Amino acid sequence: MSTPAEASGHLSGAYVFRIYLAGGAPNSIRALANLYAICHKHFPASHRIEVIDVLQEPLRALAEAILVTPTVVKVSPVPEQQIIGNLSDEAEVLRALGLPQKELP
């Protein structure tokens, strides 16, 4: 499940993330909000987020070996990497996913 803007296809040079959530669970909601905040801060014009609710698509989660939620997978650029948790530690999320960090002024 993704919004129309997010489902519009792969943007050239864009960061593509897939987040697996468990419905409206508090950690899932927090992870999604934190992922949006990180993307808007670090990649404002070049990101796409696909949201997958494992309660609605359990077979997809199993097929993709997702056993814990919330889980974020960086699909593009390669290599594919993932992190589990509510993403509250921004620096750790960027490091774990191999993403560049903005320099502080």
Position 105 scores a pLDDT of: 54
Interval 28-46: pLDDT, tens: 999 999 999 999 999 998 9
Q: How confident is the model at residue 5 (pLDDT cuts 50, 70, 90)?
A: very low
**How many beta carbons lie within 10 A of that of residue 94, not counting itself?**
17
For the chain, what are the domain ranges?
Answer: 11-95
Residues in Cβ contact with 78 at an 8 Å cutoff, skipping those fewer than 6 apart: none
Q: How confident is the model at residue 1 (pLDDT cuts 50, 70, 90)?
A: very low
Answer whether residue 13 shows pLDDT above 90: no
CATH number of the structural domain 11-95: 3.40.30.10
CA dihedral 72, 77, 80, 85 (to 10 degrees): -20
pTM for this predicted structure = 0.83
Give the C-alpha distances (Å, rounded to integers) separating 67 from 7, 10, 58.
Answer: 24, 26, 10
Q: How confident is the model at residue 12 (pLDDT cuts 50, 70, 90)?
A: low
